[in-house]
Amino acid sequence: MRTTSRDSLANRFWKHVDKKEPNECWNWTAATAHGYGRIGSGSFPSEGRPRILLAHRVSYEIHFGEIPSDMMVCHRCDNKRCVNPNHLFLGSQMDNILDAVSKGRISGLNRFSKRNSLGRFSNISQSL
Ligand SMILES: [Zn+2]
């Protein structure tokens, strides 16, 4: 059965989730990478070797199904360790960057673009 390895991944997944109320963050309790929960994929016979998966993506797949290859799983709550499916949504890479900028998470980019546009304005006023 192809579903066997996926079931065991789900079983292992739930062992590391601090499951709370549906509207609260469910924090990942095992290892993290760059702040995101991570979990080994186990051995999928078709893939040969175990891979490291991100826990919030695994959560999304368990609850909603496969993630399109060009889409990312984003957090409404901005808590990278959170795997609550109610806090997850699909976005493109650009959505994710814009979301991060609007929330001030990529402050460097904000500062850069502000300084850049200010510089351009002062150039214009000087040439007028
Ligand atoms: Zn959350």
Q: Look up residue 98 and give its two tokens.
A: 């814009």
- Mean pLDDT in residue range 94-117: 67
Mean pLDDT of the chain: 81
123 CA from centroid of ligand 1 (Å): 45
Q: Where are the domains of the chain?
A: 3-127
CA dihedral 99, 16, 37, 90 (to 10 degrees): -40
Q: Distance of CA 27 to CAs 6, 17, 43, 121, Å?
A: 21, 6, 25, 45
Portion of the chain with pLDDT greater than 90, in percent: 52
Q: How far is the centre of ligand 1, averaged over its atoms, from the C-alpha of 7 (Å)?
A: 24
Q: Tell me, yes or no, if the pTM score tops 0.75.
A: no
Arch. (CATH architecture) of 3-127: Alpha-Beta Complex (3.90)
Whole-number Å distance, alpha carbon 35 to ligand 1 midpoint, is: 13
Look at residue 7 and tell me whether its pLDDT is greater than 50: yes
Rounded mean pLDDT, 73-96 = 93
Name the pLDDT band for 78 (thresholds 50, 70, 90): very high
Please report which confidence band the pLDDT of residue 108 belongs to, taking 50, 70 and 90 as the band edges: low
Kindly give the distance from the C-alpha atom of residue 114 to the centroid of ligand 1, in angstroms, as a whole number: 31
CA–CA gap between residue 52 and residue 39 (Å, rounded):
6
Helix axes 55-64, 3-15, angle to 10 degrees: 120
Report H helices in 16-92. 55-64
Q: Kindly give the distance from the C-alpha atom of residue 86 to the centroid of ligand 1, in angstroms, as a whole number.
A: 8
